[in-house]
Amino acid sequence: MGQLVTVRASLWPRGKRPDAGVLEVVDQAARTAPVTSLLVEGSRKDGGRFFSLVHGYNCSCAEEVELWDKPGLILVGVGQAVTVLDSQTGAVKLRVPMGGYFNALWLSEDGRDAFICGDESVVRLVPPGIISWQKTLGVDGVMVHRAVGMTVFVSAQKRVGGPWLDYLLDRTNGSVVEAPDPEDEGEGVTPAAKPRAAEPVKAGAKDQKPAVKDTRPAPVKADGDDDDQDELDPSDVKMVRDDETDPDDE
């Protein structure tokens, strides 16, 4: 069982050949050399050991290894994919591509599921290690924060360098239960100033004669005369923000 296994992982020097007895996990479809590699060592209480060298390709954003006790699996996130290993033998059970790059792993406390996050989507795995659903939410990163009852709390970036927006997903099928207000996607961006509305024309204004510019020279002020100063009314600025409240956890 998974709880009878101890797992250790370390970065492998680029270009170094693996030792004898190491299972090398290679993506046969990759057209370039690995950018990052992780050596995963599994030790069983019966004395058995295995070594799996998992290569990551193209874009390396994060490296993470998690032991998923319930189904007896090891999740290895590196490069732009997650490789699922058998915790008893180190053999490859599944490979999950994540688009541009792998971002993070999240295992539920009850062991009923595991979540894989990438740059654009989140994937839910269920025992014995199969994909339950995959949901695209972001552009430059997705993160799972918690899974309670029938919902999953997720954040995603809809644009590069943009704000993190919060979503509630249905835990069983990945559908969106609650999404952010579309206006929130522009949070942090100062909108262009709106043109000032024209003042309404007062009654009887059409009967008034147009102003005529006085071309006479201004009178010379005597010493001691005070200058009149116009008072400027400050504009009131009010900022309103709607706070979002998560639904009650089941």
pLDDT at 185: 60
Distance CA 38, CA 116 (A): 17
CB proximity list for 72: less than 8 A, separation 6 or greater: 1, 2, 5, 86, 87, 88
CB proximity list for 96: less than 8 A, separation 6 or greater: 81, 82, 83, 84, 116, 123, 125, 131
pLDDT at 4: 82
pLDDT at 233: 46
- Burial class, 31, CB count within 10 angstroms (exposed 0-12 / middle 13-18 / buried 19+): exposed
Distance CA 224, CA 241 (A): 53
Tell me the mean pLDDT per 10 residues along the chain, length 250: 81 94 95 96 94 96 96 97 97 96 96 96 97 97 96 96 96 96 56 40 46 48 46 39 44
Per the DSSP assignment, residues forming a β-bridge with 73 are 68, 86
pTM for the model: 0.72
pLDDT at 89: 95
**Kind of pairing between the strands at 81-86 and 176-178:** unpaired
Taken in order 174, 177, 183, 186, the sign of the CA dihedral is negative
Complete edge-to-edge strand list for the sheet that includes strand 49-56: 5-11, 36-44, 49-56, 22-25
75-101 pLDDT per residue, tens: 999 999 999 999 999 999 999 999 999
Domains of the chain from N-terminus onward: 2-186 (2.40.128.630)
Whether 125 and 116 have beta carbons less than 8 Å apart is answered as yes
pLDDT at 70: 92
pLDDT at 192: 37
